Amino acid sequence: MEKTKVPVGIRSADTGMGIKFPHIEHATVGEIAKNFARVRATAKEDAYQLAKGNGGSGVKGTGNREAEVPPAFRQTDFASSYEARLNQTPALENPKVEFEGIRGESKCILKPPPDRQLKQILDEVGIEGIQYKNAVPDFSPTAKAQVEINYMLGGKGTYGGKARRANFVQSDQKLADQINGSPELASQFGMESGKISARDIKKYREKNKLTWHELNDVKTMQLVPTKINSEFGHFGGVGEINAGAFKPGGFANK
């Protein structure tokens, strides 16, 4: 069914002799479905950005190139070494995902047969995989929300777990504040603005199998599918803090 071709438009075809004939363009059902998913994902992102007052994805060509770069790829200064970040990306022997090109510098896609849950998540937003750059992944296409927190914490072992819980609490509160100030955003989450607490956000993400992803800039948090966060390996913000992001001379103190 996915390979079945159907007509999608008509254009003029030049024969080279000054005569033009109508030409019917075709596309497969699978291609149409992917394009629809991509448009739907863009529309959803537009609604989210408009709710925050940032404009939508259609606001291009304004000269603000930074706005077009995913938050994950705006980071050019790291406390971690490239090798340390690369070692956390999916390896060649990973049973579920693999890089199309250079490890850590290309799109990471699903290995056949594709993991059903991962494929469903990626298909819903119209992408084939997760793009990496500087051994850092961009989860933005799958993100349900994005916030900035004031005090991202780091730590290892038991302290690492406590740090992440503290980061999550801050993020839950930030998102609750966003939703409370935007009826449009609240409707996307199936909530009513003005009455949302951090605990409500915690319940929502746990019910919907979402988690907070700490970006390497040690301030940005993205609400992404837990499956994406776990299967597409990365170093992350906690790792950057542990590597010295907030120490004297660290990029977070500049």
Instruction: Give strand pairing partners of 14.
Output: 20
Tell me the average pLDDT of the chain. Answer: 85
Task: Return the H-helix or E-strand segment holding 86.
Answer: helix 82-87
The answer to whether 215 touches 221, Cβ cutoff 8 Å, is yes
Q: What is each CA distance from 178 to 50, 193, 198, in whole angstroms?
A: 12, 9, 11
pTM, two decimals, is 0.74
Average pLDDT over residues 82-86: 98
Contacts of 162 (CB under 8 A, 6+ apart): 153, 155
Give the three-class secondary structure for 216.
coil
Say if strands 20-28 and 5-14 run parallel, antiparallel, or are unpaired.
antiparallel
Q: What is the pLDDT of residues 2-16, one digit of tens each?
A: 666 656 555 444 545
For tokens 């494929």, the residue is 119
CA–CA dist 125, 44 (Å, integer): 9
Q: Which of 58-72, 99-113, 146-160 has the lowest mean pLDDT?
A: 58-72
Q: Token pair for residue 252?
A: 């977070």
Give the three-class secondary structure for 223.
strand
Sheet holding 107-110, edge to edge: 97-99, 107-110, 129-133, 136-137
Taking alpha carbons only, the member of 205, 204, 239 closest to residue 225 is: 205
Name the band, by pLDDT with cuts 50, 70 and 90, for residue 53.
very low
Instruction: Give strand pairing partners of 62.
Output: none
- Other CB atoms within a 10 A radius of the CB of residue 75 amount to 19
Q: What is each CA distance from 94 to 59, 111, 135, in whole angstroms?
A: 38, 9, 16
Chain centroid, CA 236 distance in Å: 13
Q: Where are the domains of the chain?
A: 1-9+22-68, 69-253
**pLDDT for the residue 51:** 44
Taking alpha carbons only, the member of 220, 235, 34, 214 closest to residue 122 is: 34
The answer to whether 223 touches 145, Cβ cutoff 8 Å, is yes
Q: What is the pLDDT of residues 143-189, one digit of tens each?
A: 999 999 999 999 999 999 999 999 999 999 999 999 999 999 999 99
Q: Token pair for residue 81?
A: 């070494």
Length reported for the chain: 254
**pLDDT for the residue 25:** 58
Give the three-class secondary structure for 91.
coil
Average pLDDT over residues 195-222: 98
